[in-house]
Chain A
Amino acid sequence: MKAPAFTYHAPRTVAEAVSLLGRLDNARVLAGGQSLMPMLNLRIAAPDHLIDLGRVAGLTGIEDRGSVIAIGAMTTQRTLERSELVRNNIPLLAHAVDHVGHQQTRNRGTLGGSICHLDPSAELPVAAAALDAVLTVEGSTGRRRIPFTEFPAGYLTNALAPDEILVEIEFRKAGPRGGAAFMEFNRRPADFAVVSVAIEVCLGSRDHIERVAIAVGGIAFAPVRMTEIEAALAGRPFAAATLAEALGSFDSIDVDGDDIYPSDFRRELCGVLTERALKAAIQSAGGHA
């Protein structure tokens, strides 16, 4: 099908985009268009105004800021995929991007678009959850910073005010003894994930797990941090028994399901993928698992 009629706006600055959002009713922001355009074509979305960020200056780029890497919201997934800065400093994000769509969609799809759209099966929000990404947003009252964990507000809904746009996403760099893995289950590579797991681990001097961050996608409207499992593993050496005990937490959490992939099946995937990803992450940090 074809998109319904709308008025198209192509602002050149963030301030202009924010002002348009503030004064127009029923406006939607267009980033890379790899989710919103299908929604328009399928008439799931019918905005009166479309505000395209494609020509706004200053929203792309990957910058090394010492302990963090800052990425412009309109940076394409293809740019992330090819960035040495990303692969060397935020390996988990690089692994996650490897699972995102096809090269034809990664050429247009953006990091910020994926973060704001918050598709429950999307990979980049899961990586952002595990990495404690910090979002910088700008609106009519200026800029503010939002930790990713506070960003999802409901199904396909984020915490942006009506006149705010996402400007930049900050990720902490992996430490020298850091390791990462991203694993997902789907029927074919590049399909939407049924369940995905993002893990970042930091090993200590005795090769034990000093700190681990585990985020799971596909089981709720937004990625879920598995804080109980993280706490059960932290400070201890990797051992099959410890892991098996920690994974028991999955038995008591709520897992959304559907007719094709019911919640019991997804719960099973959570355990399997977490175990595999944790081992891979530890190995990538030079540890034994």
Chain B
Amino acid sequence: MSDLKTIRLVVNGREVERTVESRVHLADFLRKDLALTGTHLGCEHGVCGACTILVDGMSVRSCLMLAVQADGRRVETIEGVAPSEETLHPIQSALSRHHGLQCGFCTPGVVMTLLELQRESEGRPLDEHKIRAALSGNLCRCTGYQGIVDAALDLFGAETRPLAR
């Protein structure tokens, strides 16, 4: 019954080859086959954004992409973002500084969205509207978003943002 396919892809710079059932979506493949549980699953139908990862540099909902579709692609997840075990990525530091997370469930998706935004902006300052539009695809139930937006403005905004008191 089950339709098995062998796929080869690069995940966080490491080449992997696995045989997967074709109905398995990419998020479950990352979490269960590769034990990369930093990618979270909220709604599993493309609404919440918790499972956002980068495929060939572009942010995607990994619950709306099959693992077989990632064959030959380059995948980046939250586990590959920080430069080392001890050092946070600047996006992670900014979220921490600005209280841009509380429970942390949505945070991996938020970080991956901001990573794409950072690369696409190529150093040009971004206004709050652009930042909010990019983040509109990531639901957060704790922060009310202001801390996340403040962190992004701190990183990419034209002016530096004071820390919320």
Contact = CB atoms under 8 A, between A and B. Distances in A.
A6 B23 contact: yes
A10 interface: yes
The size bracket of the interface on A is 20 to 34
Contacts of B116: 103
A38 B64 contact: yes
A280 B23 CA distance: 46
B91 to A, nearest CB: 16
Contacts of B28: 2
A225 to B, nearest CB: 30
Contacts of A34: 46, 61, 64
A38 B64 CA distance: 7
Interface string B21-34: 11111001000000
B8 to A, nearest CB: 14
A199 B66 CA distance: 37
A126 to B, nearest CB: 21
B122 to A, nearest CB: 14
Nearest to A189: B136
Interface stretch (A104-112, A128-136, A158-166, A214-222): A104-112
Contact of A103 (B1, B66, B68, B137): B137
Contacts of B3: 5-8
B126 interface: no
Interface string A83-127: 000000000000000000111110110000000000000000000
A1 B113 CA distance: 24
A274 to B, nearest CB: 26
A41 B136 contact: no
A52 interface: yes
B45 A102 contact: no
A8 B2 contact: no
Given A6-B3, A37-B25, A103-B116, A108 B64 contact: yes
A102 B65 CA distance: 15
Interface string B94-126: 000000000000000000010010000000000
Interface string B71-111: 00000000000000000000000000000000000000000
B128 interface: no
Given A37-B46, A37-B65, A38-B45, A3 B23 contact: yes
B58 A78 contact: yes
Contacts of A105: 46, 61, 64, 137
B44 A1 contact: yes
A235 interface: no
A163 to B, nearest CB: 22
Interface in A188-229: 188-190
In the complex, the 4 A-B pairs of residues with the closest C-beta atoms, listed nearest first:
A102-B137, A8-B22, A38-B45, A37-B64
Given A33-B64, A33-B66, A107-B58, 5 more contacts: A3-B23, A34-B46, A34-B61, A103-B133, A104-B49
